[in-house]
A and B are shown apart, each in its own frame.
Chain A
Amino acid sequence: MGAVVLQGCNGEYPQSALHPSSDFATRLDDLFTQIVWWAAGVFVIVEGALIYTIIRFRARPGAPRPKEVHGHIAMEIGWTLAPALILVAIAIPTIQTIFIVDRPTTDEDALVIEAIGRQWWWEFRYPELGIVTANEAHVPVGRTVDLRLRSADVLHSFWVPRLGGKRDLVPGHENQLWFKPDSVGVFWGQCAEYCGTAHALMGTRVIVDEPADFDAWVALNQGSAVALTDPQSRAGRGVFMANACVSCHAVRGSAAVGQFGPDLTHFGGRLTLGAGILENTRENVIRWLDSTQHIKPGSLMPDVELSDEQLEQLAAYLLALR
């Protein structure tokens, strides 16, 4: 694979829970930090007492048998109560946070996106905007995103650490998750519930845009596929329509209406390919089409037998679908 996708935009840790960029992630991070401090205190006390004890009371030759102390009620009460108090201190912000993050959002202005987990890619639908896309969700900065999570097959879990914690996609349930991004950027995510062979390669990206950029993206993506200009991509469309591709993929405005694989109507506008695992470049598209099963073992897209020329044409076609 080898591609370092867009590392620049994200700093060193594009998928880190410690670098929050939304209200949700910040809440979790604050809570976590608090608990870490309490834990650090307990750690220092326990390990300190342990080390001090074993050094101070190491056996010395000729020393008499130690005096028996069979217990001490006050001490027992002390080390029962002290941890209990610490736990109360942890439990209070915990419960406060639970009742915020585990409830549906109250923000009426929220942008609803349906995220459907599939082995091993993500489908994103914007019901209010009439957009269907895959693996990459665009959202505007500063507006609450209300995700509706569903699964088409097995369990998955939606997780974009910098925007918040994970929530599972459970067959037969609809789960919710919401966050309000506070900075622009490309945030990496990854399926976090083991879902079979290619679970490790079920990545995703959430692209937080300035509102104007988001609106432009919406306008573009509401439309059908763009008209093709150059002959190469037109030839590619021919190959696409003549092959099995159409049975699995949809390209709005064309004869391709397959539902099994990702919607490719605006594929050329995506940053990545194959659920976040490859940068979306010409070479990579060719590699993907040439050897899907090698690049993403287990993927439900079969290897398709095509000549080099057809591959070039297809890549041109797909990348032209902006």
Chain B
Amino acid sequence: MTASEHALDNGDAGVHEGLYAGGIWSWVTTVDHKRIGILYFLTSLVFLLVAGVEGQLLRLQLARPENRFLDPDLYNQLFTMHGTTMVFFAGMPLIVAFFNFVVPLQIGARDVAFPRLNALSYWLFLFAGLFLYSSVPLRAMPDGGWFAYMPLTSSEYSPGLGMDFYVLSLLLAGIGTIAGGVNFFVTILNMRAPGMRFMRLPLFTWMALIVSVLILLAFPPFTVGLVFMMFDRSFGTHFFDAAAGADPVLWQHLFWVFGHPEVYILILPAFGVVSDVIPAFSRKSLFGYPVVVFSGILIAFLGFGVWVHHMFSVGLGPVVNAVFGGATMLIAIPTGIKIFNWIATMWGGQIRFNTPMLFAIGLVGSFTIGGLSGVMHASPPADLQQTDTYFVVAHFHYVLIGGTVFGLFSGLYYWFPKATGRMLSEALGKAHFWLTFIAFNVTFFPMHFSGLLGMPRRTFTYAEGLGLDVFNLISTIGAFMFTFAFIPLFLNLWRAWRKGEPAGANPWDAPTLEWTVSSPPPHYNFAVIPTVDRRDPLWHPHIEVGLGWAGEVEPGGVSPRVQPKEPPEPVHMPDPSYWPLVMGIGMLVMTAGALGSLGVVLLGLAVTMLGLFGWAFEPSESGAH
């Protein structure tokens, strides 16, 4: 029985109608999770390019020793902006874009739990990013590195507005992120279709749930750290002032208590994508589903107990280092479990090498390399030679690009047909994959060597006599290959948007709920909310089950395979609203005012309160209740 027999083809709504109809205003006021997802996607793509160009400028400067292309201050600003943008304004929002588009569809919901809050999260992300980048024309880019260690970032050693832009922009973005965490946590717990038990959730949704929890627990400590930094800088407090009896190392703790879970925030969604893509393209359900789920939970949990591994050279003493080094190593176990289960899923399958699958396989191969260098860092004495060198830079680009970025590209190729109703070109997709894969390895593999041979990170130049010239040159060449790697991607997106082949509801013969609705999905997603009676509901009516749950059909439900063309009864959807935007603007104004004008802060507060009250007293959905 193939899925095409089941999958309802609702006809092709096509790209330019339905989801995409309506003018700018309809996008500004939208509270539809799919549209917000697309806004997130496009915005973070722009930030990715900007940060990518910054990365390439770094590489250009390092192409040869004692280069004088960038002056040191500019270089320092660029790596700070590159890291900060990649993590907070490209990586995370790109992930949230996928949460937005995919999660409600995967759980059989019509929207997220709080659509207007969702819109607010988007505006705060956009405004925080724009605010950070307004430091560029003002020539006040932050230059403290993405983890902004005190006391270099105090007002004494970093006068000027640079670090204020960093602090305030991340505070603003953090509020939106925490709101998003609450939103997705509640959505996934509460809005699952009938029968969608936890052990039937698609893996991507599972990871979204775990990541929401990570956000909720990891961002508050960061927020507190940022507030301390802001107070130290602006109001003369002494949170990190050694002369006043404080300890500047506290900042490092607060940052990494957040920062390490943050890297799992960045990787787990990619793991989720891959856990959905590999089964779909192997035509075989995920091997060891419960184990893959629990290993994700374990990674997240352990992730809170390892932060000191970023501080092995601080001199915290043998006991602390041993405990945190050991805890860090433990994480290799659940991560390995995932890797092995993915391979076991492919084992015995019928593997189709479409672009999503190529990126997924690329992730398994590349992430392993990054993970293994992670384990080398996890040994505190060994790390004394590695920390703050290009060996670390190699590690984290392997996990961030070979992991997060590959995973997100995989997801992009996988869900693009769902989002637009059009197919991407496989030829261009494959070109994109191979170019990216090669460019990535050429850029970052040599950094292992340059690091071990003595190249510290965050240095705008290096001496000729160090023997680092060749490795750096190769890295720079690789970075430029990246530019070409992006060409097929953009060609592909543009071509598909203009004249891609219609996709149909389920072009990949994939097993999860999002593939039952038309592509692009209607405003209300599901004409009738389906009842789910098994994992992978579009596959295998009755299956033998090894480790997991054995299928039983719940009576009285609506089969996910039969989505009628039109909803049988009127569906109430939330109305568009501009209050989130008003509130977002208010908060932006407050943030900008915090650079030095109490009056502007108060103005922003007034606008925020206006937005809040408008929001609270606006009927949220026509005719509801």
Q: Touching in the complex, A and B, CB below 8 A? A: yes
Among B326, B382, B385, B458, the residue within 8 A (CB) of A95 is: B326
> Is A43 on the interface with B (CB-CB < 8 A)?
yes
A-B contact pairs, 16 of them (CB 8 A): A14-B467, A35-B375, A36-B376, A59-B353, A66-B284, A70-B546, A80-B333, A84-B333, A87-B329, A98-B325, A99-B318, A102-B321, A193-B313, A196-B76, A197-B72, A298-B73
Cβ contacts under 8 Å, A80 to chain B: 333, 336-337
Cβ contacts under 8 Å, A232 to chain B: none
Interface string of B105-119 (1 = CB under 8 A from A): 000000000000000
Interface string of A200-243 (1 = CB under 8 A from B): 11010000000000000000000000000000000000000000
Interface string of B313-335 (1 = CB under 8 A from A): 11101100110011001101100
Cβ–Cβ contact A71 & B548, under 8 A:
yes
Cβ–Cβ contact A87 & B384, under 8 A:
no
Among A13, A39, A166, the residue within 8 A (CB) of B466 is: A13
Cβ–Cβ contact A31 & B382, under 8 A:
yes
> Is B301 on the interface with A (CB-CB < 8 A)?
no
> Is B361 on the interface with A (CB-CB < 8 A)?
yes
Cβ contacts under 8 Å, A157 to chain B: 313, 388
With both chains docked as a complex, state the minimum distance between the C-beta of B601 and any C-beta of chain A, in angstroms: 30
Per the 8 Å Cβ criterion, residues 149-196 of A in contact with B are 149, 153-155, 157, 159, 161, 164-168, 170-173, 175-176, 188, 190-196
Given contacts A102-B318, A168-B313, contact A35 B388 (CB under 8 A): no
Cβ–Cβ contact A60 & B350, under 8 A:
yes
Question: Cα distance A7–B348 when bound, in Å?
Answer: 57
Cβ contacts under 8 Å, B351 to chain A: 53-54, 57-59
Residues of A in contact, count (CB < 8 Å): 98
> Is A46 on the interface with B (CB-CB < 8 A)?
yes
Among A2, A50, A87, the residue within 8 A (CB) of B365 is: A50
Known pairs A17-B454, A69-B284, A72-B546. 8 more at Cβ < 8 A? A18-B453, A70-B287, A76-B341, A94-B325, A95-B322, A154-B149, A197-B73, A200-B460
Task: Say which one of B241-249, B267-275, B477-485 lies at the interface with A.
Answer: B241-249
Cβ contacts under 8 Å, B330 to chain A: 87
Among B321, B452, B545, the residue within 8 A (CB) of A16 is: B452
Per the 8 Å Cβ criterion, residues 444-469 of B in contact with A are 452-454, 456-467
Given contacts A102-B317, A200-B461, contact A35 B376 (CB under 8 A): yes
Question: Cα distance A189–B76 when bound, in Å?
Answer: 21
Cβ–Cβ contact B361 & A54, under 8 A:
yes
Among A6, A165, A195, A297, the residue within 8 A (CB) of B152 is: A195
Cβ–Cβ contact B350 & A71, under 8 A:
no
> Is B66 on the interface with A (CB-CB < 8 A)?
yes
Question: Cα distance A43–B114 when bound, in Å?
Answer: 44
Cβ–Cβ contact B152 & A155, under 8 A:
yes
Cβ–Cβ contact A200 & B466, under 8 A:
no
Cβ contacts under 8 Å, B333 to chain A: 80, 83-84, 87
> Is B157 on the interface with A (CB-CB < 8 A)?
yes
Per the 8 Å Cβ criterion, residues 247-286 of B in contact with A are 247-249, 282-285
> Is A321 on the interface with B (CB-CB < 8 A)?
no
Cβ–Cβ contact A90 & B379, under 8 A:
yes
Per the 8 Å Cβ criterion, residues 1-27 of A in contact with B are 1-2, 4-7, 10, 12-18, 25, 27
> Nearest 7 pairs between A and B by C-beta?
A165-B384, A15-B454, A172-B242, A71-B547, A200-B459, A70-B546, A102-B318
Cβ contacts under 8 Å, A171 to chain B: 151, 242-243, 248
Cβ–Cβ contact A68 & B540, under 8 A:
yes
Question: Cα distance A228–B467 when bound, in Å?
Answer: 40
Cβ–Cβ contact A43 & B372, under 8 A:
yes
Question: Cα distance A259–B314 when bound, in Å?
Answer: 27
Cβ–Cβ contact B288 & A71, under 8 A:
yes
> Is B16 on the interface with A (CB-CB < 8 A)?
no
Binding site for B on A (CB under 8 A): 1-2, 4-7, 10, 12-18, 25, 27-29, 31-32, 35-36, 39, 42-43, 46-47, 49-50, 53-54, 57-60, 63, 65-73, 75-76, 79-80, 83-84, 87, 90-91, 94-95, 97-99, 101-103, 119, 149, 153-155, 157, 159, 161, 164-168, 170-173, 175-176, 188, 190-201, 203, 277, 297-298
Among A69, A94, A191, A196, the residue within 8 A (CB) of B379 is: A94
Cβ–Cβ contact A79 & B337, under 8 A:
yes
Binding site for A on B (CB under 8 A): 66, 71-73, 76, 144-145, 149, 151-152, 157, 242-243, 246-249, 282-285, 287-291, 313-315, 317-318, 321-322, 325-326, 329-330, 332-333, 336-337, 339-341, 343-344, 346-353, 361, 364-365, 368-369, 372-373, 375-376, 379-389, 452-454, 456-467, 540, 543-548
Cβ–Cβ contact A83 & B453, under 8 A:
no
B157, B318, B341: residue with the most chain A Cβ atoms closer than 10 Å: B318
Cβ–Cβ contact B249 & A57, under 8 A:
no
Given contacts A14-B465, A35-B379, A70-B289, contact A43 B313 (CB under 8 A): no
Cβ–Cβ contact A167 & B336, under 8 A:
no
Cβ–Cβ contact B352 & A59, under 8 A:
yes
Cβ contacts under 8 Å, B329 to chain A: 87, 90-91
Cβ–Cβ contact A194 & B458, under 8 A:
yes
Cβ contacts under 8 Å, B456 to chain A: 159, 190-192, 200
Cβ contacts under 8 Å, B547 to chain A: 70-73, 76
Question: Cα distance A55–B522 when bound, in Å?
Answer: 39
Cβ–Cβ contact B544 & A94, under 8 A:
no
Question: Cα distance A93–B462 when bound, in Å?
Answer: 33
With both chains docked as a complex, state the minimum distance between the C-beta of B461 and any C-beta of chain A, in angstroms: 5
Cβ–Cβ contact A13 & B350, under 8 A:
no
Cβ contacts under 8 Å, A191 to chain B: 456
Cβ contacts under 8 Å, A69 to chain B: 284, 287, 344, 348, 546
Question: Cα distance A188–B462 when bound, in Å?
Answer: 12
With both chains docked as a complex, state the minimum distance between the C-beta of A300 and any C-beta of chain B, in angstroms: 12
Given contacts A188-B466, A297-B72, contact A65 B350 (CB under 8 A): yes
Cβ–Cβ contact A53 & B343, under 8 A:
yes
Question: Which single residue of chain B is at the shortest CB-CB distance from A70?
Answer: B546
Cβ–Cβ contact A170 & B314, under 8 A:
yes
Cβ–Cβ contact B282 & A57, under 8 A:
yes
Cβ contacts under 8 Å, B326 to chain A: 91, 95
With both chains docked as a complex, state the minimum distance between the C-beta of B310 and any C-beta of chain A, in angstroms: 12
Cβ contacts under 8 Å, A97 to chain B: 379, 381
Among A4, A36, A154, the residue within 8 A (CB) of B157 is: A154
Cβ–Cβ contact A176 & B315, under 8 A:
yes
Cβ–Cβ contact B365 & A47, under 8 A:
yes
Cβ–Cβ contact A63 & B381, under 8 A:
no
Cβ contacts under 8 Å, A31 to chain B: 379, 381-382
Question: Cα distance A231–B326 when bound, in Å?
Answer: 65
Given contacts A70-B285, A165-B313, contact A13 B368 (CB under 8 A): no
Cβ contacts under 8 Å, A201 to chain B: 72, 461
Among A27, A168, A200, the residue within 8 A (CB) of B315 is: A168
Given contacts A68-B285, A72-B546, A94-B382, contact A50 B343 (CB under 8 A): yes
Cβ–Cβ contact A63 & B369, under 8 A:
no
Question: Which single residue of chain A is at the shortest CB-CB distance from B364?
Answer: A50
Question: Which single residue of chain B is at the shortest CB-CB distance from A6?
Answer: B465
Among A36, A79, A190, A196, the residue within 8 A (CB) of B336 is: A79
A80, A99, A157, A168: residue with the most chain B Cβ atoms closer than 10 Å: A168
Cβ–Cβ contact A102 & B368, under 8 A:
no
Cβ–Cβ contact B350 & A59, under 8 A:
yes
Given contacts A71-B288, A87-B333, A90-B329, contact A98 B242 (CB under 8 A): no
